[in-house]
């Protein structure tokens, strides 16, 4: 369901906003505040989601080596992404050097801290909170909003700069899609980690993630 909403956002929301980011290169105070909000919303969402997710993960089989490697790589990307988002927001808002350091390495670390927290067993699990489902729905919504803002940034600054570069050349188009696979992992799969943790063993999870980003891939190829 999360990927479906991202697919709809890529069709209906992102195309109307990325031109604004592209025209200003993101250096608009309003977008600076949005980027900072993306970091904080993701941190809050991850914090709310961590406890019920941790309980469900405890019921699943232990990870193999490939899963540990996958989430280690995505975790590093996750950390780099949100530190970059926080630093970009600080630069756009033209804060003092001290505040910039705080935003980059203080606020920017929070989403990854709360994401990793979901993986750490903490004592005996308490009884299920009857409000847990509602809290997790709120958490999912916060992460969704955060990710949409990040995708607007990605489309406006990165996809827009190379969109259509391989148009008319099958080899260059294929190469372009391959080269964008790493940014795809960083800008979508990494902040989607909390949803991958439960279902990464299912091939439909990966297919739905690819379909969610297909509008972006289409814009990249066709310009």
| Residue 220 backbone class (left: φ over 0; alpha: ψ -120 to 50; beta: rest) | alpha
Supply the pTM of this predicted model. 0.84
pLDDT digits (tens, 9 = 90+) for 67-103: 889 889 999 999 999 999 999 999 999 999 999 999 9
Q: How far apart are CA 204 and CA 74, in angstroms?
A: 19
DSSP secondary structure letter of residue 60: S
pLDDT digits (tens, 9 = 90+) for 130-187: 667 888 899 999 999 999 999 888 877 776 665 555 555 556 555 556 556 667 677 7
pLDDT digits (tens, 9 = 90+) for 99-133: 999 999 999 999 999 999 888 766 555 555 666 78
What percent of the chain stands above pLDDT 70?
Answer: 79
Q: Which residue has the tokens 């999870």?
A: 205
Band the pLDDT of 54: cuts 50, 70, 90: confident
Is 208 a residue whose pLDDT tops 80? yes
Q: How far apart are CA 76 and CA 185, in angstroms?
A: 11
Q: How far apart are CA 124 and CA 51, in angstroms?
A: 12
Mean pLDDT of 206-220: 78
């Amino acid at each position: 369901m999360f990927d479906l909403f991202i697919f709809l956002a890529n069709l209906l929301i992102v195309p109307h906003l990325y031109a604004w980011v592209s025209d200003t290169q993101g250096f608009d105070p309003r977008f600076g505040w949005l980027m900072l909000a993306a970091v904080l919303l993701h941190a809050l969402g991850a914090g709310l989601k961590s406890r019920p997710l941790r309980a469900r993960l405890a019921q699943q089989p232990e990870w193999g080596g490939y899963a540990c490697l996958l989430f280690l790589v995505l975790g590093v990307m996750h950390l780099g992404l949100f530190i970059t988002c926080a630093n970009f927001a600080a630069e756009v808002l033209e804060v003092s050097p001290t505040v910039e350091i705080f935003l980059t390495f203080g606020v920017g670390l929070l989403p990854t801290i709360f994401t990793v927290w979901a993986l750490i067993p903490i004592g005996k699990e308490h009884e299920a909170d009857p409000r847990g489902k509602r809290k997790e729905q709120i958490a999912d919504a916060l992460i969704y909003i955060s990710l949409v803002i990040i995708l607007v940034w990605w489309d406006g600054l990165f996809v827009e700069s190379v969109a259509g570069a391989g148009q008319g050349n099958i080899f260059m188009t294929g190469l372009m899609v391959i080269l964008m696979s790493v940014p795809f992992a960083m800008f979508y799969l990494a902040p989607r980690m909390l949803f991958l943790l439960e279902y990464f063993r299912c091939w439909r999870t990966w297919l739905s993630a690819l379909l969610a980003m297909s509008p972006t891939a289409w814009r990249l190829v066709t310009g």
